[in-house]
Amino acid sequence: MTEHTDPGRDQLKQHFAQRVINQARQVLEVWQRLQRQDWNEARMHELREAALLLQRYAERFDQAEHAQLAEAVGHCMHVAADNHGRLTSELIGELNRLMQQLSRTGLRHGDRFEQTLLPPLRKPVYLALQHLERAEHLAQQLAFFGMSAQPLDSANAFRAAMLERHPAAILMDVNFSGPGAGLHLAAAVQQGLEQKIPLLFCGPEDTDTPTRLTAVRAGGQEFLTGSLDASGLLERIEVLTQVAQYDPYRVLIIDDSRAQATHTERVLNGAGILTRTLTEPIQAMAELAEFQPDLIILDMYMPGCSGTELAKVIRHNDRYVGVPIIYLSAEDDLDKQLDAMSEGGDDFLTKPIKPRHLIATVRNRAARARHLKARMVRDSLTGLYNHTHTLQLLEDARYRAQRDGQPLSFAMLDIDYFKRVNDTYGHPMGDRVIKSLALFLKQRLRKTDHIGRYGGEEFAVVMPGTDARAAQQVIDGIRRRFAEIHYPAHPQDLSCTFSAGIAELRDDMDGKHLSQQADEALYRAKHGGRNRVERYVAD
């Protein structure tokens, strides 16, 4: 007996599937906004309502995982409401975990659709280029990176799309629908908008200054020339739309007074800042390694170990030289405050302090520290972790895996025939391929995975909670999709592949031994024909 499908029912299912996707991204967008605001009752209510709507849509469409996540988010918000609107560090940590899981969750539309990532961008990017074929090709390439793009073929189609919904960003050719017409079209649609849409213009490399000036006055934030590649465009859009997932600032409070530490915790938690408290300063170094705070709040007078002494101990470790230390004390003698700050401190706040003052100081110091740390530990070309910091992250992950009895895998990737790319197409194209793979890895790996540029065209991935077989499946899926990306070039478009080696942590193995095994597996992949992923197997 042949099973007949109901086209109307399928269409309805797809309609509700899209509503689930859109609402999940709405939850993520609300969560992101909380990063820049205090978590007052109205904002917490907005997140609770968004999660409730997601739960309803997910249950109606029979999406169990989305429904469970939405219900868990709603439960966290109800707990906070029962606690008079206060968010504990445990609640903040749990919400952050749920949001990370939601951002990685795909949605299956029946067997015809493959599972996809759920990036924070809820809306598509509109592509208004002179040549529709070029726009369609670019949209296809952007889809490989998890970004939705809608090619438009005329000014009327563009206006109709804008009336239907506003996009995440617009890429507009200055000559779309006629010489210079794109400039006027883009300026017209932005008029009257309270919140301007991120706008990127593109045009010929010899575009004159008056045209570029008109683009600036039309609200253009970027002006692109030459060939357009998906990875470069995605990078610019991510910066303009600020879609980086919310990662709360982490503050370690060291104070022998439990009452004072609890008060500081409540103030910071109310601003969405994740905290951990120590009343025994002697435990500070172990807690630093485990919690990895962005900032330390330190009491000046504690029995057994003063704040200034502890600051010196912390500064002896190179890993924590750049972590800001703020003294929070009742000491009001300016000379003593200055002496304390000369002993490794960055700021001195006097008790009692107004909550807004404390929150603003912590946020500003933590943000600057993250920025400086990123410059120190990240590769300038790709934004990935550099070689030294990748190995440090591997060592941290190894320690936790052995302590908790969890699996850990380490992957090493190398772009195939990369020297040929540089020799044939030039170093700028080589850099583009490297940046493209870096972006591809960031898009398709978990937030809990650590991605590093090991050197040159070689990359490394630390994968906690993952055995070698699962790691191989993940990396191999990325390998297959990466090979489908095409880079505009002459005489023909370029595509690249990579080889990878994977090793799993065993017994009392150290990080150095684990990385050597991954390197051996990579060597086998290279000599086994390239464009493949090998697991380490002992001889």
Task: Output the tens digit of pLDDT for each of the chain's 539 residues.
Answer: 444 445 555 555 555 666 787 788 778 777 766 765 667 777 788 888 889 989 888 888 778 888 888 899 888 888 877 776 666 767 777 887 788 777 766 443 332 323 333 344 457 899 999 999 989 988 887 876 667 899 999 999 999 999 888 888 999 999 999 999 999 999 898 887 777 888 999 999 888 999 999 999 988 988 988 777 776 787 778 767 654 455 678 899 988 888 888 888 888 887 778 888 888 888 888 888 888 899 999 888 888 788 888 888 888 887 888 889 988 887 777 877 787 777 777 888 888 888 889 988 998 899 888 878 877 888 878 888 999 999 989 998 998 899 889 999 999 999 999 999 999 988 888 988 998 899 889 878 887 899 999 988 999 999 999 999 999 999 999 999 899 888 877 777 888 999 999 999 998 888 899 999 999 999 999 999 999 999 998 76
> How high is the pLDDT of residue 202?
93
Tokens of 385: 């972790």
User: Is residue 110 in some structural domain?
Assistant: no
- Shared-domain flag, residues 513 and 399: yes
User: Is residue 411 in some structural domain?
Assistant: yes
- Shared-domain flag, residues 227 and 270: no
- Shared-domain flag, residues 417 and 485: yes
- Shared-domain flag, residues 523 and 403: yes
Rounded Cα distance between 248 and 301, Å, is: 29
Rounded Cα distance between 468 and 501, Å, is: 10
> How high is the pLDDT of residue 17?
65
Strands 325-329 and 347-350: parallel
User: Is residue 117 in some structural domain?
Assistant: no
Domain boundary among 320, 351, 377: 377
Domain boundary among 358, 377, 396: 377
Rounded Cα distance between 150 and 170, Å, is: 10
Rounded Cα distance between 315 and 326, Å, is: 13
Cβ atoms of residues 418 and 430 within 8 Å: yes
Q: Look up tokens 């790319």; give the residue.
A: 421
**What proportions of the chain, in percent to the nearest 5, are helix, strand and coil?**
50, 15, 35
- Shared-domain flag, residues 393 and 514: yes
- Shared-domain flag, residues 401 and 517: yes
User: Is residue 114 in some structural domain?
Assistant: no
Q: Domain containing 271 — which CATH number?
A: 3.40.50.2300
Strands 458-464 and 408-415: antiparallel
User: Is residue 164 in some structural domain?
Assistant: yes
- Shared-domain flag, residues 392 and 525: yes
- Shared-domain flag, residues 68 and 21: yes
Which residues span the domain enclosing 495? 387-535
- Shared-domain flag, residues 92 and 130: no
CB atoms within 10 A of CB 402: 15
**What residues contact 185, with CB distance under 8 A and at least 6 apart?**
128, 155, 158, 159, 172, 176, 177
Give the global pTM: 0.58
**Residue count (the chain):** 539
- Shared-domain flag, residues 411 and 472: yes
- Shared-domain flag, residues 139 and 170: yes
- Shared-domain flag, residues 405 and 365: no
CA distances from 128 to 27, 150, 186, 222 (A): 29, 9, 10, 15
> How high is the pLDDT of residue 453?
94
Tally of structural domains, the chain: 4
Domain boundary among 350, 377, 404: 377
User: Is residue 109 in some structural domain?
Assistant: no
> How high is the pLDDT of residue 86?
67
User: Is residue 68 in some structural domain?
Assistant: yes
User: Is residue 112 in some structural domain?
Assistant: no
